Homo-oligomer: A and B are copies of this chain.
């Protein structure tokens, strides 16, 4: 096991999955310490920064990577265990970008109405308290001068984890798909292991889009966006590529499906989970379907990206003897503890 620390320069940022030469080769068992810029490319720094003016939309959601995983071939499974996520700045930013987000006409669901006000919110990080601070930007409806300030728990996550797509495609870093990408689920936090199917030699994975916290759905289109220091354990399973991104933490097995309309994101995730649970428990897919009907959790991840994402979660507690991918999650957790 070796440790690799990397902070990309601005001209090293990747804006797509696929189509970019790898920055570095890593090996199964390596520990990566990666810095990533925020999804705004660091351009939104104060409440006076209006997104339409300061963001260059040709360069959104910069990724740190891609990295070449030695030995990874199409059909294999790349394993990324998130050891730690620490905000790399003392503030995060969010914004209502004109014609972007879930509660406004936008690129794919256009209307003829005018845009919402282009507004920026800055959240201060209080590391000691473990919070980020919301501060209202519009006049209180109750009158009075005071802004509303609310401390919210820090809950760092990565919006984006992905590999190069299949079929020679190159996709914007804004897209969630079979290859992972911009899934924007809060489940992508420290303690989670990600399993992705490898489509090209070396997998060419990258990460980014740090969120200091995010609600399910990421409704306005932007979480508390922030530069992030990520510690990640990399591993490789030969073969076994899942059809859609699988996640695992100490309590749940999870699949992330991404599609439109949202019921199709649910359908692809649920179909993949039927397959997975059927294998884990040695039962017929009809029995797996029935069992899942009674036990899944199904939080929405995003309602704002080119595909919507839904997570299907299955609690492990009723199945103490089952384990996935050779119990690699448990091993990686043990390694992660040793790293701290």
Contacts and interface: CB of A to CB of B under 8 A. Distances in A.
Contacts of A300: 266, 298-300, 310
Residues of A in contact with B, size category: 35 or more
A304 to B, nearest CB: 9
Q: Which applies to chain A's interface (DSSP): helix, strand, loop or mixed?
A: loop
Q: Which of A103, A171, A262 has the most CB of B within 10 A?
A: A103
Q: Which of A139, A170, A216, A219 has the most CB of B within 10 A?
A: A219
A213 interface: yes
Contact of A141 (B283, B296, B312): B283
A136 B290 CA distance: 9
Given A167-B58, A294-B215, A274 B112 contact: yes
A168 B287 contact: no
10 contacts: A19-B19, A96-B289, A108-B268, A134-B294, A137-B286, A168-B170, A170-B170, A215-B296, A220-B290, A222-B293
Given A96-B289, A259-B260, 17 more contacts: A94-B290, A94-B293, A103-B111, A103-B270, A104-B113, A105-B113, A138-B286, A140-B282, A142-B282, A150-B319, A167-B172, A169-B169, A170-B170, A217-B270, A217-B293, A220-B289, A263-B303
